[in-house]
Structure 1
């Protein structure tokens, strides 16, 4: 299945999921934020064609020129059951090609992996959705329940031109659905010799803020005590170095209990951070779900070496546990001080869905059918997904993009990272598991 890294366009017989994911990676859908994005319409038309080839009637919706989402409805065998939303997003974050080993948008096959921006976030799942639905329909069957298949624009900038707009402007498209499945959960980890798949049952809340300091504009040689840059630097250093306390939710408490069981230890005798670290590379996500995080991500001030600016700004990405947004914002105000202005740029809710029930049972059956003896661990995502938008319609969201991964791959580092890649056999595995889940549930 390996394609020559010297010639990524060399003809080869790729498994269909890998081929579609590769095609999507080769459509540069970089989301630059602030309403600017590439290629979403082209990607939407590609997906529309794939869905139409299955006999479905997909529709493209544009929230603004080029900001395109695609929705199709797949009938179910059991109309008495509530519908399911199966969704992905078509946009990706920017990639600096100078830091990559390959062209981020070439869709190169190397070392039995598909490389490129979007390989894990989330054109792999987009492809798995298309091929799992295709397998079912081409066999003459239907999913167990009616399934709304959606591919959204703008997820990487909060969904204002994608899922959030769709929910506000076209809620009828999701009528009858009670649950949703999308990205980030479903990948495998190994804990204490047990392979487990992380089912995302929660998401932290999101608060993006802009900090703004004002001072006196002056010549760079003067003595200026209300320097805006200095004032801002002190505020963001204080905020960035704040140690937020550990707070466990129902989801994280259950996850830590599962980890402790796999390790054969008493969760009351081992700290939450120690248990999280036992998950290996996945701890990069999991430790962040045990507490609030507040990371400065961008600084902007000044325009010339010898001019003291009167304004300095910083962007901070704050992720709180569900329901703690106001409490955390009040604490941020205390940390940065009253002379720093705080502007909320974007805010969205945290989520927690049930960690047991028919959907979780069906996920377990689908995984263990293809990986006998594996366990399912619920977990909370430190980031966010378009499930936040769907929650406004009362739809409970889960993250389940099933991938059986080698222990040597630092999978969480692939999200928004350099040299993003996914094993080819993991794509084929995910297609099969997702197909079985849709037929069962």
Structure 2
């Protein structure tokens, strides 16, 4: 077998994946992930693996394969990444989001950040190691999933329910949205590793009233009832709730940035963090953001029903408080049902796996400091945690200080530096040796 170089391959792998349209609009329409899954499976087969493509529905494809380690009696490690991406409006982009073009030292396109970059890094590392005859210390299961951007019903949740045997022995995992750098100065960088993520409560709210003529008095107007409930929910100021992960992060940030930390007023500290304030601020409290409104069909007709959608996110340990408060804010005449409901997660930032991540980062960047953080969104880890798997977000990237990386998730002009991908390949290779 020809020896492969992961650093040389990774940008091309990322480019190829971006060029495969796997847009997920959330309604099971569109191209699906089948073409991307076939590409991944082919690249894995080229280095002697036997990946399985598993379809949960037409073109909703997942890829799973086990890489045998030197000691298969040890607990196995899961590396997971999703193949779908969110929709886009190409007119808003500098370069077409499916171009995968390499320009200004970056790979451009939808998925360059979320998360075909990590898919490419996993492929590059595994292909290099197997071409060199290097097995990981323990079994590693690779899972490339469908449908993460719509909750994972056709992807990770389906795999965990219908094919859980493929993950036998897996106790730990790494996946997306973590391991990226934030510069303190030229010599020092913080690497944010996801150790917790908020729960998801996408809710459909429905108000039912009395239909009638728009010129008549109507004390049972569904639109009015719904609007008042949406206003209460959207304007509600959720109290600050400090979780263990956020407390640890703020403590580490205060040391690194030499900021005074008042845990009785964490918002004051967060306000001093510049661009980080947006990302960390969303993890201090639960959130409820109204996102859709639907009502009526003619100006002079009062409709019988009115509907709104709300994106709710709750912190680990605060789900009961979240729903109790939401129900109080709704009032008696508005009901709620779930569009998507999933758990919050949190794990301690300790143990051999955490040390392996931190050591691999420092080996490639002596100025690295690994810190835990809470993701305001959610990942496929929610599904895999049901199998007893403890996971982290660790897709390592050393980024330019002026790159607004977090702002490109689901954003315009998504791109990732080529040298950041190459850095990630080196770090993941060291990580696999050390875990």
SS of the residue 1:31 aligns to? coil
- 2:410 maps to what in 1? 416
| Partner deviation per Cα, 1:342-386 (whole Å, 9 max, x = no partner) | 112221111111201101111111101110021001111111110
Q: 1:214 aligns with which of 202, 208, 211?
A: 208
- 1:78 maps to what in 2? 71
| Partner deviation per Cα, 1:307-357 (whole Å, 9 max, x = no partner) | 332221111111111132222111011112111111122211111112011
Q: 2:426 aligns with which of 415, 432, 438?
A: 432
Q: What is the 5 A alignment of 1:226-265?
A: 226-265=220-259
Q: Partners in 1 of 2:324 and 2:351 — Cα distance?
A: 36
Q: Partners in 2 of 1:274 and 1:174 — Cα distance?
A: 44
Unpaired runs of 5+ residues, structure 1, are 1-13
| Partner deviation per Cα, 1:35-55 (whole Å, 9 max, x = no partner) | 334231111111110110111
Measured at CA, do residues 17 and 304 of structure 1 come closer, stay the same or move farther in structure 2, by a change above 3 Å? farther
Alpha-carbon contact 2:259-2:269 (below 8 Å) kept: no
Q: Partners in 2 of 1:273 and 1:343 — Cα distance?
A: 32
Alpha-carbon deviation of 1:137?
1.1
Q: Partners in 2 of 1:421 and 1:336 — Cα distance?
A: 41
When the two structures are superposed, what TM-score results if normalisation uses the length of structure 2? 0.94
Matched, 1:55 2:87: no
| Partner deviation per Cα, 1:115-156 (whole Å, 9 max, x = no partner) | 211111100000011001112111211112110000000111
Alpha-carbon contact 2:24-2:32 (below 8 Å) kept: no
Q: Partners in 2 of 1:235 and 1:302 — Cα distance?
A: 17
SS of the residue 1:314 aligns to? strand
Q: Partners in 2 of 1:286 and 1:48 — Cα distance?
A: 37
Measured at CA, do residues 117 and 293 of structure 1 come closer, stay the same or move farther in structure 2, by a change above 3 Å? same
Q: Partners in 2 of 1:361 and 1:347 — Cα distance?
A: 33
SS of the residue 1:92 aligns to? coil
- 1:127 maps to what in 2? 120
SS of the residue 2:372 aligns to? strand
Q: Partners in 1 of 2:22 and 2:43 — Cα distance?
A: 18
Alpha-carbon deviation of 1:106?
1.6
SS of the residue 1:213 aligns to? strand
- 1:22 maps to what in 2? 15
Q: What is the 5 A alignment of 1:283-432?
A: 283-432=277-426
Matched, 1:153 2:129: no
SS of the residue 2:282 aligns to? helix
- 1:66 maps to what in 2? 59
Q: Partners in 1 of 2:74 and 2:269 — Cα distance?
A: 38
Q: 1:182 aligns with which of 171, 175, 190?
A: 175
Q: Partners in 2 of 1:105 and 1:230 — Cα distance?
A: 43
CA RMSD of aligned residues (A): 1.7
When the two structures are superposed, what TM-score results if normalisation uses the length of structure 1? 0.93
Moved more, 221-230 or 51-60: 221-230
Alpha-carbon deviation of 1:192?
6.8
Alpha-carbon deviation of 1:66?
1.0
- 2:3 maps to what in 1? none
Unpaired runs of 5+ residues, structure 2, are 1-6
- 2:107 maps to what in 1? 114
Moved more, 417-426 or 300-309: 300-309
SS of the residue 1:401 aligns to? coil
SS of the residue 1:189 aligns to? strand
| Partner deviation per Cα, 1:99-122 (whole Å, 9 max, x = no partner) | 222222121223222221111110
Q: Partners in 1 of 2:252 and 2:92 — Cα distance?
A: 38
- 1:5 maps to what in 2? none
- 2:38 maps to what in 1? 45
SS of the residue 1:233 aligns to? helix
SS of the residue 2:386 aligns to? helix
Alpha-carbon contact 1:167-1:389 (below 8 Å) kept: yes
